[in-house]
Amino acid sequence: MALVMMPTALNAQAFSESELSYVNTATPGLFKNGNSFNICSDDLLKMGFCFPIPGCKLISDWNRDNTGHSGVDIKTFANDTVRSAFDGVVRLSRNYGGYGNVIVVRHPFGLETVYSHNSKNLVESGDQVKAGQPIALEGRTGRATTEHVHFETRINGVAFNPHWLFDIENHTLQPVCLEVKKTGDGASVQVKTKN
Ligand SMILES: [Zn+2]
């Protein structure tokens, strides 16, 4: 049953040049089964889950509308281990402008997580990773004034507020379903139900 809910195969060979080059890029075939679908934290938890840097503190919040900050900044200490939140495939691993060294992992349901400013990336595009697997070391590459992880959640290239899915304070997942709707070339995401 769970396989029916996976719009995107975790197949590294399917990555296009754009997917291998850009943080913000569409996911081919994401809406092939309809113009909307749900991502529920219960289903994500079945695959395993790890908060990206256990023990971290939030130092700068999502504020896309006012400052353009399209993620949350979470911090422990320099060169701490950064871990994949869920099972997935590394779509992008490169140095990328203000992001510095950045990793993008694509998970089932088209969910993507972004980990940036890394002092070092530990995985390559196409690598399969498990929840909790080390993928990078915390750093301050790119546009950063202190060691931290700029963490984003994206669907079809569009960033959404990580707080909708992650309880940043408690390092857990929110008990939610997110409704993802096709909008032009992107997607709209909203919190649909609380379990
Ligand atoms: Zn940031």
Q: What is the per-residue pLDDT across 45-70, written as a single tens digit (0 to 9) for each?
A: 998 999 999 999 999 999 999 999 99
Q: What is the pLDDT of residue 172?
A: 96
Give residue 4's pLDDT band: very low, low, confident or very high (50, 70, 90). very low
Q: Report the 3 state secondary structure along 12-81.
A: HHHCCCCCCCCCCCCCCCCCCCCCEEEEEHHHHHHCCCCCCCCCCEEEECCECCCCCECCEEEECCCCCE
Measured distance CA(97)–CA(191) in Å, rounded:
31
Q: Ligand 1 centre and the CA of 95: distance in Å?
A: 16
Average pLDDT, the chain: 92
Its pTM stands at: 0.92
The 10s digit of each residue's pLDDT in 130-145 is: 999 999 999 999 999 9
pLDDT bucket at 149, cuts 50 / 70 / 90 = very high
Map out the domains of the chain with their CATH numbers: 2-194 (2.70.70.10)
According to DSSP H, which parts of the chain are helical?
41-46
> Cα-atom radius of gyration of the chain, to the nearest Å?
15
Ligand 1 mean position, distance from CA 34 (Å):
33
How far, in Å, from the CA of 138 to the mean position of ligand 1? 13
Spacing, Cα 25 to ligand 1 middle (Å): 19
Question: Could you tell me the distance, in angstroms and rounded to a whole number, from the CA of residue 151 to the centre of ligand 1?
Answer: 7
Residue 10, pLDDT score:
54
